[in-house]
A and B are shown apart, each in its own frame.
Chain A
Amino acid sequence: MTEKVKIKIYSSPDCSYCYVVKDYLSHQGIELEEIDLYEQPEKRQEMEEISKQKNIPVLIINDEIIIGWKKEKIDEALKKHGAI
């Protein structure tokens, strides 16, 4: 059996592009873990360490990190990791 792809997003309720990324993934029927940096401000440091920068959204597909709303990169990573 193939292992389930782990997808996680660091987001905030004000972040416009976070909504687009989340909607795009849900449009494809993909579930993801969401870390809301307003609810869990202590996770900001973890996000900055993983992505080596400060801007959001940060989307993580297994070990791949995608910063911002970049449809092609998301598609590529989803395909590569067998999520679509």
Chain B
Amino acid sequence: MEQYDLIILGGGPAGITAGIYASRKKLKTLLITKEFLGQVGLSWRIENYPGFPKINGRDLLKLFHNHLVQNEITIQNYEEAIKIEKLNTGFKLKTKEKEYNSLAIIIATGAELKKLNIKNEDRFIGKGISYCLTCDEKAFENKKVAVIGGGNTGAEAAISLLKFASEIYLLEYLDHLTCDEVLKEEIESQSRIQVITNAETLSFEGNEELKKIVYQERKTRKIHEIETDGCFIQIGVMPNTEFVKGLIDLNKKGEIISNLKTMETSHKGIFVAGDVCDFPFKQIIVAASQGASAALSAYLYIKELNN
């Protein structure tokens, strides 16, 4: 059985930063990740990470990854953690392929994009509906497209679609867009983007392909239809915590409850960082900073165990 001081789960900004910090503390570290992409790799335009006024997510992650591999660290890419078991000293981490032991663990498994779970959503995936803007936006050249979700991700999707789509509808459930003010201004200045607030999406309709989105105006309760060829669903994320349920405390949203000073979880020896924890702001810089804190706390914990 391979034995490590520290196992880090996740290859996004949180896990990579934790890896850099841990290896510089000379901890024998293993980083396991399903892939080096995470959510950051899905972003086509990042403008709020210091030092990079405008960069796409994949390029930023590549720079993070290049930095990580300059350090002494073992990496298992394309493996998924499925279980953590407590041992007398430390933990056993199981992936679909293998098992590893360590004294401490940092969970940095981030989050996945959420589905709406409404009528005909599954039926039209690939037939108008997509969750990956960078993959599929070009399929809608000169077509009408809707984006559901008026947060930063949805607003950025609507702006990016200006390159291809003829008309863009941006549907938001609340009575206002929740994205950053700069994005709001950009959207308001674009005549090809129509913002529809108070919109509760009810269903997707069409025959072979998506043709209409049905929504209810939440104030008047009136039902409306939008004719559209495509729809990008960008309504937020769900934490990747299925594999630790029952082992550590989660909040109602399924996020790991953390001590934000130390990034400790409810289970001694297990630390957390990034979007998977219960900190309200989900951003690259926040994830990276928590990755650093978690690694430094894990270092102190391991040092104490070894004394």
Contacts and interface: CB of A to CB of B under 8 A. Distances in A.
Given A14-B44, A24-B78, A71-B78, A55 B58 contact: no
A27 B77 contact: yes
Contact of B135 (A15, A51, A53): A15
Interface string A1-26: 00000000000101111111001100
Contacts of A23: 35
A55 B78 contact: no
B179 interface: no
Secondary structure at the B interface, as helix, strand, loop or mixed, is mixed
A61 to B, nearest CB: 17
Contact of B35 (A12, A37, A69): A69
Contacts of B78: 24, 27, 71
A55 B139 contact: yes
A23 B35 CA distance: 10
A55 B135 contact: yes
B126 A16 contact: no
Q: How large is the interface on A (under 10, 10 to 19, 20 to 34, 35 or more residues)?
A: 20 to 34
Interface in B94-129: 125-128
B132 A53 contact: no
B37 interface: yes
A77 interface: no
A53 B183 CA distance: 32
B138 interface: yes
Contacts of A69: 35
Contact of B138 (A19, A20, A38, A71): A38
Given A54-B126, A55-B132, 4 more contacts: A12-B135, A15-B132, A56-B135, A57-B135
The 4 closest A-B pairs by CB, nearest first: A53-B126, A15-B135, A55-B126, A14-B134
27 contacts: A12-B135, A12-B138, A14-B134, A14-B135, A14-B137, A15-B135, A15-B136, A16-B37, A16-B42, A16-B57, A16-B132, A16-B134, A17-B37, A17-B132, A19-B37, A19-B41, A24-B35, A44-B139, A51-B126, A53-B126, A53-B127, A54-B130, A54-B136, A54-B139, A55-B126, A55-B136, A56-B136
